[in-house]
Amino acid sequence: MTSETRKRKWRWLRHVAWVLAAKVLLVVLALIGVAIFFGSGAGNPIIQRFIVHRLETVTSGHVALKAISIRWFSLEVTLKGLVIHGREPAGTEPLFSAEEIQAGLRIAGRAAHRFLLGAESFPERSPDSETAGTHQS
């Protein structure tokens, strides 16, 4: 092997290393951008549309959701003003209605192989309802 072929081989290897490093850097920057986008709350409308569409698909009804709040570091989500209309006649009470729903995911155990999901629902309160002032979970 001559010194010229050896130099070409090293040049090629340096080129490959730079290309791979650039690709890894682009992937890392893209992941950081996605994390900032969703962490700042700018992605909440996208997530809200996804949740509404998924609930409409599951219930075959009309779903209304006023607001969503996601706390990524504590793995908690709050849905405000969730109303699900099923196939009930117009003018009747909706299938499900809640003023606020709070759900959280907690990693249980040292090996992080178990997850606990907790949710609390705060129903809409009306002065003439029997459930006014009660808390359901």
Whether the CA torsion 109, 113, 114, 118 is positive or negative: it is: positive
Alpha helices in the chain (DSSP H): 3-39, 44-59
Do 43 and 68 touch, CB atoms closer than 8 A? no
Give residue-wise pLDDT tens across range 55-110.
999 988 899 999 999 998 888 999 999 999 988 888 889 989 999 999 888 777 66
Give residue-wise pLDDT tens across range 2-18.
788 888 888 889 999 99
Tell me the C-alpha distance between 84 and 82, whole Å.
7
Q: Check whether 1 has a pLDDT greater than 70.
A: no
Residue 56 identity: E
Q: Which residue has the tokens 């006649």?
A: 89
Q: Check whether 135 has a pLDDT greater than 70.
A: no
Tell me the C-alpha distance between 64 and 75, whole Å.
23
Question: What's residue 19's pLDDT?
Answer: 95
Do 45 and 68 touch, CB atoms closer than 8 A? no
- Closest CA relative to residue 93, chosen from 105, 103, 82, 85: 85
Residue 41 identity: G
- Closest CA relative to residue 65, chosen from 101, 39, 103, 13: 101
